[in-house]
Structure 1
Amino acid sequence: MSTFLLEIVTPERIVYTQNVRMITVEGVEGQLGILPNHIPFVTPLKIAPASIKLENGKNESVALNGGFMEVRKDKVVILAESAELPSDIDIERAKAAKERAEKRLSGKKDEADFKRAELSLKRALTRIGVHEHR
């Protein structure tokens, strides 16, 4: 089966670079599955895990904190605000962030505070999910 090069890049570093069979991500318009020779396009991404199918048939996940994905014929580049491999996730920190966000969401706050807490909760849940599914 054919593959394509997947690169996941943040402002700080290259997080992931490998030939893969498929990647599934959450775009702002819904879930996207990318296979080799996909039509080129660029799309913004939500805070969600990226599911990666490797050449050997195994699956991996990467926690993405939004960003953009550029699809080319033989390469996909994800430019993420932040991205974490399961081995890089501090699960206790993620659980603490989840609890803080849930407390902020339960209190009476203005709309900006609510939105920040909601985004923080999404990031924490994504990190926890990726860590648990490794």
Structure 2
Amino acid sequence: MHDSSSPTWPLLDDDTRCPCLSGETYGSCCGPFHRGAAAPTAVRLMRSRYSAFVTGDAPYLLRTWHPTTRPGSLELDPGIRWFRLEILGSTGGGLLDTVGTVEFSARYRADGSAAEQHENSRFVRHDGAWVYVDAI
């Protein structure tokens, strides 16, 4: 968990609309995962990782990255503004699964121009929790 007394990224109010655009508030969607709860499905982990990019929560991204593919450090570009996530599809990744994929499109602005990241992410359960492995 992060030390809330000295946050290194912008914290969102629990009543704010969740950045992952699930339609829920941050406090009932991605917030609990950022504070240490385990995401129950690969899609929920994907959404919470996107929200971590929005808020600049690099420690959460590293914590939810599989140890075999996780970089030693992660610096997020503060000039990138993520503004839309669309889940395009998924396979597996449910409550009883151990592997899954989530295809998504994430839109962002950088240097005044809009761009898109399209990815099919692979997730596995590691020590009982969903983690991001890589893009396939």
Q: What is the TM-score with the length of structure 1 in the denominator? A: 0.27
Whose relative contact order is higher, 1 or 2, with alpha carbons under 8 Å and at least 6 apart? 1
Higher helix residue share: 1
Larger C-alpha radius of gyration, 1 or 2? 1
Higher strand residue share: 1
Q: What is the TM-score with the length of structure 2 in the denominator? A: 0.27
